[in-house]
């Protein structure tokens, strides 16, 4: 049996391959014909539901651009307990982020944020207390939504005010300081109420 000696180093390092970036993609598609670009977008559209949702929202297609994002939030924060589905806070947050990247409409973002807290609250009212991490996530989203609301026009504030107030009221019997925290956030934003 013969043993091999390791190859001697020549001192020249292998060139490092850099990770592809958007710049690389942009360069690759820069000279595409229109039909090739449409084909590429068609492939991306067919690839995933999130791509479809993004394109529908971006181009305001369909009657309700928020509907698929609300469905994701609802499934994540009010899962089917009979099928033993779990709560997925990160999935619900990602739906809001994805909508923001697609459209960035502040009123749409606000709607999804409030819906996030409403779904989470409804789940705990129907099935009982969860845990501190769960309520902390709902509280942070409530606070973020209030901050966004206060940057918008009076008509939008009037449209959403009752929903925020209802969230505070409906959480009265939920533990973990959840009700108190929502109340503190709400009444700090609307001290005259």
36-45: per-residue pLDDT in tens? 888 999 999 9
Under a CB-based contact definition with an 8 Å cutoff, are residues 99 and 57 in contact? yes
Q: pTM for this structure?
A: 0.84
Mean pLDDT over 140-152 rounds to: 98
Q: How far is CA 27 from CA 20, 30, 32, 34, in A?
A: 11, 5, 10, 15
The CA-CA-CA angle for residues 116, 109, 156, to 5°, reads: 105
CA 31 to chain centre: 34
Under a CB-based contact definition with an 8 Å cutoff, are residues 68 and 50 in contact? no
User: Residue 190 has what pLDDT?
Assistant: 96
Q: b or e along 90-100 (b: 16 or more beta carbons within 10 Å of the residue's beta carbon)?
A: eebbbbbebbb
The CA-CA-CA angle for residues 20, 24, 29, to 5°, reads: 130
Indicate whether 8 pLDDT > 80.
Answer: no
**Mind listing the pLDDT tens digit for each residue in 88-132?**
999 999 999 999 999 989 999 999 999 999 999 999 999 998 999
- pLDDT tier for residue 3 given thresholds of 50, 70 and 90: low
CA 121 to chain centre: 17
User: Which burial class, exposed, middle or buried, applies to 69 when counting CB atoms under 10 A from its CB (0-12, 13-18, 19+)?
Assistant: buried
Mean pLDDT over 163-174 rounds to: 96
Indicate whether 10 pLDDT > 90.
Answer: no
User: Residue 61 has what pLDDT?
Assistant: 87
Under a CB-based contact definition with an 8 Å cutoff, are residues 98 and 143 in contact? no
Neighbours of 118 (CB within 10 A): 20
User: Residue 175 has what pLDDT?
Assistant: 86
Average pLDDT of the residues of the chain? 91
User: Residue 131 has what pLDDT?
Assistant: 92
């Amino acid at each position: 049996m013969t043993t091999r000696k390791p190859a001697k180093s020549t001192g020249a390092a292998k060139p490092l391959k850099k990770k592809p970036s958007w710049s690389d993609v942009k360069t690759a598609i820069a000279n595409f014909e229109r039909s090739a670009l449409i084909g590429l977008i068609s492939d991306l559209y067919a690839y995933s539901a999130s791509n479809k949702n993004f394109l529908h929202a971006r181009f305001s297609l369909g009657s309700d651009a928020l509907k698929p994002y609300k469905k994701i939030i609802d499934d994540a924060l009010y899962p089917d307990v009979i099928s033993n589905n779990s709560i997925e806070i990160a999935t619900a947050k990602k739906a809001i982020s994805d909508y923001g990247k697609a459209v960035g409409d502040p009123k749409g973002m606000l709607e999804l944020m409030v819906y996030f807290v409403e779904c989470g609250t409804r789940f705990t009212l129907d099935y009982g207390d969860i845990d501190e991490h769960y309520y902390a996530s709902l509280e942070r989203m409530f606070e973020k939504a209030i901050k966004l609301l206060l940057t918008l026009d009076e008509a939008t504030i009037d449209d959403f005010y009752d929903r925020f107030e209802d969230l505070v009221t409906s959480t009265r019997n939920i533990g973990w300081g959840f009700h108190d925290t929502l109340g503190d956030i709400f009444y700090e934003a609307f001290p005259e109420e």
